[in-house]
A and B are shown apart, each in its own frame.
Chain A
Amino acid sequence: MSGWGDTPPDLDRPGFGTPPASADAPRTTTRISVRVNGTQRHAEVEPRTLLSDFLRHDLGLTGTKVGCETGSCGACTVQLDGEPARACLTFAIQVHEADITTIEGLPHGPLHAAFHEHHALQCGFCTAGMLMTLDAFLKTNPEPTEDEVKHALSGNLCRCTGYAPIVKAVLER
């Protein structure tokens, strides 16, 4: 428990700003099986469980960050069958039998080293999303121009670095 008290167990309770869930809203769970960073994982999920929450709460993979849950910030970017995807805009139930890579499964390489070298992170909250986006991008564009890098990162917000060190890290990795 934090100094602010426990988080409410269910934001649906009356008076919390949203109307209560309708009585007939089904609350079933489904078993899913998904390959995460090379390991097959099985879990029971509610249909409404977001992939980001599934990774962080159910699997304990907290490297994937959650910033906005509306698809705006890119902090939650993971790779879904090799493509970058917003984990907050995907339900865990949809990735049954898919292949997920999170920051924990990304092998350390020249890009990590260049981020370190160029101070391309400060608080680090955006970094996992940046790296997952860039890893997918660089596979198809190994020699990008500065403009292409900026375009590729346009969906990833960073509130610390001002982006210049990140772009530099990519170009000089």
Chain B
Amino acid sequence: MKPAPFEYVVAGSWDEAVAALDGDSRVLAGGQSLVPLMNQRLVRPRRLVDISGIPGLIERRRGALRIGATVRQAALERSTLIAGGWPLLRQAVRHVGHPATRARGTIGGSVVHADPRAELICALIALDARFTLSSGRAVHGPLQLGPGELLTAIEVPRLQPFAKSAFVAYARTSGSFADAAVAVVLEPDRAADAVLGAGRAGEAEAAVRAGASATDAAALAADLVDGDHHRALVAELTRRALVEAGHA
């Protein structure tokens, strides 16, 4: 089994990448989602534009975190800056695939591929991340790329002192996509609760701020999803995440 023939173009910069893209091309970053699709010929681009050589950094800028889109997932997992300032991302990325796929897979690829079960997106939503695009646009919330637009970086605001966070997931086997997952960030005057595939649980967040118990808030978060099993999972995971983040 091989992918259908394609033309391979290496982009050394974001400008080169945008220039090389046309309607029948795809961007190759780490390839851990795209290549399986190409191997099965579910996707047959005429041209692949390889952006993995465009440098990407994990850096702190005016207190906020900036992650280049081409940063590998393994680099995020090992970064001391992330571990110290935004441990939620480190917890979440450990649920993405396996060590061998994280060594190649990129943060940007995970975000743009936008699988509804992508753990990293769930954590980034809880952290109020902003996505910087090649067009200069910055997007807050669900990412919709326009034609010829590329995700170049992700910015995560600084957390307040004494912020606590937790990422809890349930998957049948380690490394497969989670059946359910919840990311929680608790700060002195802010509560964020993101449910995998369903976005922020605003009512649960308000309840936490108003002092409701973890169990009661968790029941509100479960309203975001359908099906008894899924609801039970989300409720229990939210409760655990809230407790782990220090909310009784």
Partner of B101, one of A46, A89, A91: A89
Q: How far is the CA of A89 from the CA of B101 in the complex (A)?
A: 9
Tell me the chain B residues, 78-107 only, with Cβ under 8 Å from chain A: 97-101, 103-104
Q: Which residues of B contact A74 (CB under 8 A)?
A: 98, 100
Q: How far is the CA of A118 from the CA of B42 in the complex (A)?
A: 41
Q: How far is the CA of A150 from the CA of B98 in the complex (A)?
A: 11
For this complex, 20 residue pairs linking A to B, each with C-beta atoms less than 8 Å apart, are A11-B1, A11-B2, A18-B4, A18-B41, A47-B5, A47-B7, A47-B48, A50-B2, A71-B101, A74-B98, A83-B104, A84-B100, A84-B103, A85-B103, A86-B104, A88-B35, A89-B104, A90-B31, A137-B99, A151-B174
Chain B, Cβ-Cβ closest to A49: B2
Q: When the two chains form their complex, are residues A88 and B99 in contact, meaning their CB atoms are under 8 A apart? A: no
Q: Which residues of B contact A12 (CB under 8 A)?
A: 4
Q: When the two chains form their complex, are residues A83 and B32 in contact, meaning their CB atoms are under 8 A apart? A: no
Surface stretch bound by B, among A24-32, A36-44, A120-128: A24-32
Q: In the complex, how many residues of chain A place their beta carbon closer than 8 angstroms to a beta carbon of chain B?
A: 42
Q: How far is the CA of A49 from the CA of B6 in the complex (A)?
A: 10
Shortest 7 CB-CB contacts between residues of A and residues of B: A155-B98, A47-B8, A83-B103, A154-B174, A84-B100, A70-B36, A154-B175
Q: How far is the CA of A22 from the CA of B44 in the complex (A)?
A: 10
A102 interface residue, CB < 8 Å from B? Answer: no
Q: Which residues of A contact B46 (CB under 8 A)?
A: 22, 24-26
Tell me the chain B residues, 127-184 only, with Cβ under 8 Å from chain A: 173-175
The answer to whether A47 and B104 touch (CB under 8 A), given A11-B1, A154-B173, A155-B99, is no
Q: When the two chains form their complex, are residues B103 and A94 in contact, meaning their CB atoms are under 8 A apart? A: no
Q: How far is the CA of A153 from the CA of B232 in the complex (A)?
A: 29
Q: How far is the CB of B97 from chain A (nearest CB, A)?
A: 7
